[in-house]
Structure 1
Amino acid sequence: MTKVSQQPNFRLLLIWVIMIAGCCGLLLNLYRLQVAEAPMLKEKASKQQMVYMRPFVPRRAIIDRNDNILATDRKVYTLYAHPKLFKISKEKVAGLVAPILNKSPTNLEKLFNKQRSGILLNYTLTEDLADKIARLSLDGLELIQKYSRLYPQQDLAADIVGYVDVDHRGQAGIEYSQQNLLEREVKTLRLNRAGNGTLMPDHIPEGFLHFDDLQLKLTIDSRLQRAARAALKEKIKEFNAKRGIVIVMDALDGSLLSLVSEPTYNPNRYSDFDVSLFKNWGLTDLYEPGSTFKPLNVAIALEAGAIEPDSLFNDPGSVQIGKWVISNFDKMGHGTISVAKILETSSNVGMVRIIQRMKPEVYYSWLERMGLGQKVGTDLPFEGSGHIKNQQEFISSPIEPATTSFGQGFSLTPLQLAQLHASLANGGKLVMPHVVQGLFDSKGQLYWQPRLTTPRPIFSPTTTQSVLEMMENVVKKGTGKNAQIPGYRIGGKTGTAQKASPRGGYYSNAKITSFVGILSIDSPRYVVLAVVDEPKGEAFGSTVAAPIVKSVMEALIAMERIPPSEAVGNGEEGGEF
């Protein structure tokens, strides 16, 4: 009896031991999960339940000074086909989709037969066409929404606006240099995910998809841009030129009303064009300005006190400088000649005589003061720095000041030449060339504007007024007669320069023609520069570039409603250069 009674007690005890051990194990595991590993497990769970997203936000639009859209984002759709999901035959799907995509049904069917899924049919399908695809309600067609950059004016302002690549990043023009202004601020969103993977909007901030309505406004006038491009293209075609550029600048503040380069490209289809067209050579490439620099040298000499407006010089047609002979373009002399006549006839010898009245080191210091060899500091990208020889080399050789006097031996960009002539128009101040006005909302209210560098005085108003009157004579009775506009006092200067070779010296059969005009002499404000590279035939600044400037000025007069000058006279014709 005693043995029988002990067996149940042993079994009961064993069960209790097992249960207690199990409870202890559960408690230990609970402690591990709830205390020891709780922070790690909590973080792991959070990662599984939370999704961090950075939504795509459209870039701000770019508009011109009159609120015409130059660049904007629009909704587009990428269309994929997955033939394995088709519920009807591939032939019927191709027949329904092909007319919408403007493609051949046969070619579409061939695409469907190449693979079972993920066939790209269109990368940038417009919203109306995507709606037509959606209304077909066909299984196996997938539309993915995205934003694409649209340039409504096509190539009109490509030289300024630039373009964005497939990743929506600016690669040229304002799209590149003002990327920080064009991209809206994007906040990362934190979203909950349910057990089945569905996103839950618990942490979405209110109004996170409400974008600001700010637009980047430029100083460019699309109407003037169109007129300048038409005039430039006409002359490039007439003279079979390599390329050309037109710059229109408001001399009072440096704002650019037009900046046209030809040939150009369509930013909507940038991949179809040569990459060399993506740079604006008006601010990236250097050239020797030739005679268009002569008025600036006259201003230097006047300001330095080396000459007076009524000073006279002897021009025998050529002058010996060391072992070099410098001649006028026509080899003809003009005898005793005034400063005004030197500009009017574009006398190289006369310019050499003017600069010889200054010490080379004084002349060089003036060139540096004007910013030669430096960048002008515009808000457009990839600007090139001008080039001038170092001071020691310049002052040690008499040929250097001599060639510089008529615009050779150094180089700058067309934009810098326009800036320097603007100083003659505005009373002697260097202003910063720029195209950005600021950020404006949809009601036209200014939200932000750039801080421009303070205009830097280099000439006195007395000096610039004297030079402007001389430049008026160039147009009235000199080489710039083709820029005359009846009723308006126009100042200007032609240029027909030898084209420098990168290997040294000059090309024997290539030149650059240019003309810079100032409107108007009685109320100077606008500078118009045209440069045409490598025109063929009997091409001069007076016959190629001056008519371009005249056409642009006529358009500018109409757009800005500039009244005629009070008194305009006509004079005799001058030389050709």
Structure 2
Amino acid sequence: MDSSHPKLNSSTANSSPFTKHISRQERHRQKTQQQGVPVVRLLLVWGFLFVAMGGLAYRLYRLQVVEANQLQRMAKAQQSTSMQPYVPRRSIVDSQGNVLATDRLTYTLFVHPRYFEATKEITDPTDYIARELSAILGDITPAQLKEKFKEKESGIKLATGLNESQAVRIGSLRMGGVDLEKQYSRYYPQDEMAADVVGYVDGEHQGQAGLELSQREILEREVETYAIRRTGKGVVLPDSLPDNLLQSNDWQVQLTIDMRLQRAARELLKAQVAQQKAKRGTVLVMDAQDGAILAMVNEPTFNPNEYYKAKVEYFKNWSVSDLYEPGSTFKPVIVALAMNEGVLKPEDRINDSGSVRVGPWTISNASKSGAGMINITQVLRYSSNVAMVAIARRLKPERYYELLQGVGLDSRTGIDLPGEAASYLKPRQSFMDDPIEQATTSFGQGLSLTPIKLLQLNAMLANGGKLVTPHVVKGLVDARNHLHWQPDHPVKQVVKPEVAHSVVQMMESVVSGDGGTGKAALIPGYRVGGKTGTAQKAGPRGGYLANAKITSFVSILPVDNPRYVVVAIIDEPKGANAYGGTVAAPVVKNVMEALIAIKGIPPSQPQ
């Protein structure tokens, strides 16, 4: 049977209609399967793309429309910042350009013991760093430094105010855990020489005394805030920096103080205070023509570079802040006021009996004796209290009080230093009703003033009767000493020029006349006017202290062409022979000699 069926060869099978039909169906099915897979995938891809594009479009809408303003603010905040550059305080210089105060770069030293690392050469870094820093700092031992290293692991402040040389030496150690921080600090090259005038700034760079406090507005320059742009990493873009970022005028605050005279006055005062074992002292020198202070020194004083080591009371300039009874140095002022009123003439003679009764009180001369009939020049020469009471009685009480107010005996001088005290005058009614007040005021008791006020009143006599404003600030100058600004100072005419000149000539006899109390201030070849003062010190609860007095001397130089006024006050000198003529006058003489040499004052013409 098998043989009866014809055999199909491959060619026959392939060519049969049935086989062809099956093959077409298979191919169609396979083709259909092959074409169906890409369509699904394509639909999925396109669907994903459409969804993503829709999301991006929505996000773009949110960013560019809904959140646009907020994002712009955030971008601006990130890409820009405000910058306030450091601008140093103005330097302070004296009348000759010598620097008295300036800002300089200093360093603060920190250590971080946790980062101390040993090397092949240094097996004990703690000991090595302690020894090296001790040698550089100089005021602390290695053992003390090691103890400080134990305080905490990081951020130990060891020193402040280090100079450039010390910073370089510390940097050369190249040791981990040692850090230097730059900062600016105030430096006073003259140390204590001008401390009473200049003052000091504290650790926060804020003025706390002297001109650093009172003249803060001109010492602190205006600082502008600049808006600059930066990258996302915080790097400043150079093209965003303003052209005038670092531009600042180089003006300095120039004073009327002459450091040559200031230094001489301080050394002389310091020596006298020590010799007399006094509580304190002050020396003031003024140009009477305009009120410029050429020297102002107090003793004891402080070093502004190390203000934290000084007693707090030294920061107060007592020549402007403390009141005292001037005693006989006030007598020339009363004489000038009486002459200006026309109730007294230079040729008038007054009987000095040695004592005078005022109500229940008896007023005597310091010598306890009288000089008889004396003229006004002799009244000042012998410093007669009795004669001064007689002069005061020539003035009507009400007018007398007005005259005292007219020369500022109840106000301040207006000096450009902080803490000035106003002079004290008894209330009007008390003064007018009580004759003893009128009497004691005539010889400088019963009223109080500051040393700077006494200087101003005597300058009034020297300059022809004008009440000028004492001041230490000359103005703002540039590096070439060109003056760009100067303050205005009021001037008030209170005494006729001829009266003031007459009183100055009378004061000359105090120094050069027979029996004058100020002979210790005599300078050969120069006409010097002066007045001594030895006053009892008022007690805190009224009355006067038994064993305390304040000695003073005021001088005018030269009498033939009055220009300069010098005041010296020594508070509570010890010893039996402690008077204005023996304690204060010698200091004034030496200061005047220095003034003559510095200013080149020629000898007086022979009379």
1:369 Cα deviation after fit: 0.7
Corresponding residue to 2:441 among 387, 392, 404: 404
Corresponding residue to 1:468 among 484, 504, 519: 504
Is 1:90 aligned with 2:126? yes
1:96 Cα deviation after fit: 3.5
1:66 Cα deviation after fit: 1.1
1:10 Cα deviation after fit: 12
Instruction: Kindly indicate whether the alpha-carbon contact (under 8 Å) linking 1:251 and 1:431 is maintained by their aligned counterparts in 2.
Output: yes
Q: Which residue identity does 1:543 align to in structure 2?
A: T
Q: Which residue identity does 2:99 align to in structure 1?
A: I
Instruction: Kindly indicate whether the alpha-carbon contact (under 8 Å) linking 1:511 and 1:534 is maintained by their aligned counterparts in 2.
Output: yes
Corresponding residue to 2:378 among 324, 336, 341: 341
Between 504-513 and 157-166, the greater mean CA deviation after superposition = 504-513
The structure whose Rg is larger is 2
Deviations 1:269-311 (A, max 9, x none): 0000111110100001111111000000000000001111111
Is 1:542 aligned with 2:572? no
Is 1:427 aligned with 2:457? no
Corresponding residue to 2:331 among 294, 300, 308: 294
Structure 2: distance between partners of 1:92 and 1:192: 45
Match of 1:53 in 2: 83
Match of 2:488 in 1: 451
Q: Which residue identity does 1:276 align to in structure 2?
A: E
Match of 2:33 in 1: none
Corresponding residue to 1:255 among 289, 292, 299: 292
Calculate the TM-score normalised by the size of structure 2. Answer: 0.88
Q: Which residue identity does 1:493 align to in structure 2?
A: K
- Could you say what secondary structure the match of 1:451 adopts? coil
Match of 1:502 in 2: 540
Q: Which residue identity does 2:84 align to in structure 1?
A: R
Match of 1:364 in 2: 401
Structure 2: distance between partners of 1:30 and 1:400: 93
Corresponding residue to 2:554 among 491, 494, 516: 516
Number of corresponding residues: 565
Instruction: Kindly indicate whether the alpha-carbon contact (under 8 Å) linking 1:189 and 1:203 is maintained by their aligned counterparts in 2.
Output: no
Structure 2: distance between partners of 1:190 and 1:96: 44
Structure 1: distance between partners of 2:362 and 2:277: 32
Match of 1:5 in 2: none
Is 1:73 aligned with 2:103? yes
1:323 Cα deviation after fit: 1.3
Deviations 1:384-443 (A, max 9, x none): 111111222211111111111111111111101100100100011011101111111111
- Could you say what secondary structure the match of 1:157 adopts? helix
Q: Which residue identity does 1:293 align to in structure 2?
A: F
- Could you say what secondary structure the match of 1:286 adopts? coil
1:99 Cα deviation after fit: 2.0
Match of 1:3 in 2: none
- Could you say what secondary structure the match of 1:302 adopts? helix
- Could you say what secondary structure the match of 2:336 adopts? helix
Structure 2: distance between partners of 1:155 and 1:389: 37
Structure 2: distance between partners of 1:122 and 1:52: 32
Instruction: Kindly indicate whether the alpha-carbon contact (under 8 Å) linking 2:534 and 2:549 is maintained by their aligned counterparts in 1.
Output: yes
Q: Tell me, which stretches of 5 or more residues in structure 1 are unaligned?
A: 1-7, 569-577
Is 1:237 aligned with 2:267? no
1:313 Cα deviation after fit: 1.2
Corresponding residue to 1:40 among 70, 95, 101: 70
Structure 2: distance between partners of 1:36 and 1:409: 82
Is 1:105 aligned with 2:142? yes
Structure 2: distance between partners of 1:351 and 1:111: 69
Structure 2: distance between partners of 1:148 and 1:545: 39
Structure 2: distance between partners of 1:34 and 1:415: 73
Match of 1:246 in 2: 283
Structure 1: distance between partners of 2:430 and 2:132: 75
Instruction: Kindly indicate whether the alpha-carbon contact (under 8 Å) linking 1:84 and 1:140 is maintained by their aligned counterparts in 2.
Output: yes
1:198 Cα deviation after fit: 3.6
1:17 Cα deviation after fit: 8.7
Structure 2: distance between partners of 1:137 and 1:193: 33
Between 337-346 and 23-32, the greater mean CA deviation after superposition = 23-32
1:11 Cα deviation after fit: 12
- Could you say what secondary structure the match of 1:424 adopts? helix
Structure 1: distance between partners of 2:177 and 2:57: 54
Between 184-193 and 323-332, the greater mean CA deviation after superposition = 184-193
1:203 Cα deviation after fit: 2.2
1:202 Cα deviation after fit: 4.0
Deviations 1:308-346 (A, max 9, x none): 111111121111111111111122112212111111111
Instruction: Give the 5 Å matches for 1:173-252.
Output: 173-252=210-289
1:242 Cα deviation after fit: 0.7
Instruction: Kindly indicate whether the alpha-carbon contact (under 8 Å) linking 1:63 and 1:217 is maintained by their aligned counterparts in 2.
Output: yes
Deviations 1:339-361 (A, max 9, x none): 11111111111000011011011
Structure 2: distance between partners of 1:237 and 1:39: 76
Match of 1:163 in 2: 200
Between 47-56 and 19-28, the greater mean CA deviation after superposition = 19-28
Deviations 1:127-149 (A, max 9, x none): 11111222232222221111111
Calculate the TM-score normalised by the size of structure 1. Answer: 0.93
Corresponding residue to 2:163 among 111, 114, 126: 126
- Could you say what secondary structure the match of 1:71 adopts? strand
Match of 1:488 in 2: 526
Match of 2:8 in 1: none
